[in-house]
Structure 1
Amino acid sequence: MPPLICLPGTAGTMDVYYKQILSLSMKGYRVISVDIPRVWNHHEWIQAFEKFLDAIDVHHIHLYGTSLGGFLAQLFAQHRPRRVRSLVLSNTFLETSSFSAAMPWAPIVGWTPAFLLKRYVLTGIRDGPHEPFIADSVDFVVAQVETLSREDLASRLSLTVDAASVGPLLLSDSLITIMDTNDFCAIPQQLKDQVIERYPGARLASLKTGGDFPFLSRPDEVNLHLQLHLRRVGVEARPDLVIGMPKDGAGGSSSEQKNGRRDTDDAPEDDKRGSGSTSNENELPLAPEGTDTQNLESAPLLLNGFNSNEQTVAANKVLSNFTCEFIILNLLHLYPGTLYNDWKCRNLDSLCR
């Protein structure tokens, strides 16, 4: 089953799609989220992403990209059409000329300090009062930006301003879904309209709200549209492959079922143990391990490392010890009788006095 690979935007990392991974993977879909590699032009991106697919042994994929990730997904579908089965594009664009015009210092982006790069990236995120779910998504992405190194930020901004545009795709428009938010977004509405005009036969999925990161602020709606897209392009869910999911649909874990069987069997075992203990009360206990007879049987094995004289001396010691113990055991039952007779004689003597 070809996986759905999620590509983040300039300010995102692979962690931003955790809600999609949790939801869709539990339904039986294969979802992979990746980071944008540290490359400096779009040709390097295409080669690096193809090497990644070869490394994980994946030949055909479905791509879901937002912002810069959507642009890179279109470029990969253009240059590697045999590997891309479908596209889901969200708040993305077709060309980079408008971004390069707004960033005149693009030629020196590789030497720009990290704090300036972070400030430039964060200025693209709308600052102001948000709905709680949108504010939470912004806070999450801002925290992700803080984890990016200077090289990572410079690489992503270089991909944003590198002169490139998406050409005609061999992929049918019916295999493309465009999912945009209608409230506000860092991508200008004009650029989003160009994407809709380029793919007139694509399926449109409009979100009334969601901001720049609808996959975090509106995860239920985004997951629903992704699931509908995968079904439409012929991807069937495989819930039987989900780890820990019973194939027969029965609830409960295997450990609970084992515990249930153990509970039903415990009572008979206790009864058997109780009846066995009463029947064995009058029986003599078995001889413990390590008795003298066992020592005698193992004596030849222990003596193999000695010479003939030492073997004779050791054997004599073992036999003498065994003989002494045998005599003591035979005379031991006479000792209580002797003590009893001695005690009885002393009592008679005291009475006579």
Structure 2
Amino acid sequence: MKRVFSAPGDYIYFKSQVPLHRIPIGTKQWRYYDFGPKVVTPLICLPGTAGTADVYYKQIMCLSMKGYRVISVDIPCVWNHQEWIQSFEKFLDAIDVHHIHLYGTSLGGFLAQLFAQHRPRRVKSLILSNTFLETRSFAAAMPWAPIVSWTPSFLLKRYVLTGIRDGPHEPFIADSVDFVVSQVETLSRDELASRLTLTVDSASVKPLLLSDSFITIMDTNDYSAIPQQLKDQLSERYPGARRAYLKTGGDFPFLSRPDEVNLHLQVHEVYISKWNLTRIYD
């Protein structure tokens, strides 16, 4: 029997308390949430192909109450990685944010690394979850990539949704899948096409200037849409990074295991702060 999705009560409360911002920057429309004290360096959350700014609502609500500033964004319609880097930098300038911590999952984690590679002075740390270093394997699995920008919306949605593992799930994972599926339904054809293009457009992350000490890798050990081989490549690239493995959680641990994810995000920030203080006093 098909599950009937109804918005969770905590999400309805979140929407009543936290405004969704929309700002045009050039030809791009940015949708984002920005909650928490403005005097601290923000944690910016970047979703995967199927995600929106809303998927991190549990992080926004929890961490903002603990003194963190959390900004969650939609990935706008950009069609190559250089355009992503330039557009994201213009967005940061528009909201008057200079230095950031980046938390990216899946495609968002890949884009976070690219931004850290090309704009190293702006990125203070990275939290990478169920993500990858290069797009080659995705391009090989999607031979129709050259016509993605002309593909009808219903086919793009079907393709994106086939990447989300369908049941049976533990209830908390099933709820996270239902929520993300509901968010996919809100995305336009161009939004879906641009994200798929970013996933298959040829690119790889080069070595970062950012020290491994400022990186946390947070993966789930049960399964995810990102092949284990690609996650292993990421771990090998950053041997000195902190490891934060979740026993279960599926593709969307920020929704299915929010308490554990939020704890690891806080531990990451505390570690970075202590490391910086150590450098000052050494």
TM surpasses 0.5: yes
Match of 1:211 in 2: 250
Report the CA distance between 1:128 and its aligned residue: 1.9
Q: Are 1:221 and 2:263 counterparts? A: no
| 1:6 and 2:45 aligned | yes
Are residues 1:191 and 2:230 paired? yes
Residue 234 of structure 1: SS of its match in structure 2?
helix
Alpha-carbon offset, residue 125 of structure 1: 0.5
Pair 1:57 & 2:101 matched? no
Amino acid at match of 2:153: A
CA-to-aligned-CA distance 1:302-322 (integer Å, 9 cap, x gap): xxxxxxxxxxxxxxxxxxxxx
- Give the equivalent residue in structure 2 for 1:154: 193
Letter in structure 2 aligned against 1:126: R
Residue 29 of structure 1 pairs with residue 63 of structure 2? no
Q: In 2, distance between residues paired with 1:73 and 1:143?
A: 24
Match of 2:177 among 126, 129, 138: 138
The partner residue of 1:230 within 265, 269, 273 is 269
The residue type equivalent to 1:226 in the other structure is L
Length-normalised TM-score, structure 2:
0.83
Aligned position for 1:170: 209
Contact 2:99–2:122 (CA under 8 A) maintained in structure 1: yes
Q: Which residue type is aligned with residue 43 of structure 1?
A: Q
Query: Could you report, residue by residue, the CA deviation over 1:141-172 in whole angstroms, capped at 9, with x for unpaired residues?
Result: 00000000000000000000000000010000
Question: Would you say 1:201 and 2:237 are equivalent positions?
Answer: no
- Runs (5+) with no aligned partner, structure 1: 236-353
Shift of 1:2: 1.1
Shift of 1:215: 0.1
Query: Out of 203, 206, 218, which is 1:179 matched to?
Result: 218
Following TM superposition, by how much is the alpha carbon of 1:100 offset from its aligned partner in structure 2, in angstroms?
0.3
- Give the corresponding residue for 1:118: 157
Question: Which structure: greater helix fraction?
Answer: 1
* Shift, 1:109, TM fit: 0.2
Q: What amino acid maps onto 1:94 in structure 2?
A: L
Tell me, in whole angstroms, the C-alpha distance in 2 between the residues paired with 1:168 and 1:212. 26
Cα offset, 1:37, TM superposition: 1.1
Instruction: Report SS of the residue matched to 1:233.
Output: helix
Contact 2:220 2:253 in 1 (8 A): yes
Runs of 4+ in 1 over 4 A off after TM superposition: none
- Structure that is richer in strand per residue: 2
- Residue 11 of structure 2 corresponds to none
Q: List runs of 5+ in structure 2 lacking aligned partners.
A: 1-39, 275-282
Kindly state the Cα deviation for residue 20 of structure 1 after the two structures are TM-superposed.
Answer: 0.2
1:159 counterpart SS class: helix
Letter of the aligned partner of 1:171 in structure 2? L
Distance in 2, matches of 1:126 and 1:23, equals 27
- The question of whether the paired residues in 1 share the 8 Å contact of 2:215 and 2:242 is answered with yes
The number of aligned residues is 236
Which residue matches 2:54? 15
Residue in structure 2 matching 1:38, options 58, 61, 77: 77
SS of corresponding position for 2:273: coil
Contact 2:54 2:72 in 1 (8 A): yes
**Counterpart residue type for residue 218 of structure 1:** R
- Paired amino acid for 2:100: I
Larger Rg: 1
Q: Residue deviations 1:221-269, cap 9 Å, x none? A: 000000000111118xxxxxxxxxxxxxxxxxxxxxxxxxxxxxxxxxx
Distance (Å, rounded) in 1 between the aligned partners of 2:156 and 2:77: 15
- Which of residues 95, 102, 106 in structure 2 aligns to 1:67? 106
CA distance in 2, matches of 1:18, 1:86: 21
What SS does the corresponding residue of 1:228 show, helix, strand or coil? helix
